[in-house]
Amino acid sequence: MGHPAPCRNTTAVYHPRKPTDSPLYRLLLNHFDSFEQIYGERFSHDHGFYRPVISDAVRAYLKCGDLKQGVRKGSLSRLPL
């Protein structure tokens, strides 16, 4: 068996993450407030009461994607192997 071909591109280029550019982020940012307001009349009959954890999760997601909120530095050393 031969050796694998060498990698031709040896210089990696860093591309900063732009979470606010994702379609999901933009959808939630632009429409979630309206969804919360109309949920009771349009969706509760078929899907049940509105659970507050939904708002908590969406707001946390939007805050996480906003890099102006700061960046949290983590460590992988605490992950189980």
Q: Select the highest-mean-pLDDT range: 1-5, 56-60, 67-71.
A: 56-60
Write the secondary structure of 3-69 as one string of H (helix), E (strand) and C (coil). CCCCCCCCCCCCCCCCHHHCHHHHHHHHHHHHHHHHHHHHCHHHHCCCCHHHHHHHHHHHHHHCHHH
- In this prediction, residue 77 has a pLDDT band, given cuts at 50, 70 and 90, of low
Residue pair 28/58 in contact (Cβ under 8 Å)? The answer is yes
Average per-residue pLDDT for the chain: 82
| 12-46 residue pLDDT tens | 787 777 888 899 999 999 999 999 999 999 999 99
CB 62 within 8 A of CB 22: no
Closest CA to 54 of 45, 43, 68, 69: 43
28-42, 49-63, 65-79: segment of lowest average pLDDT: 65-79
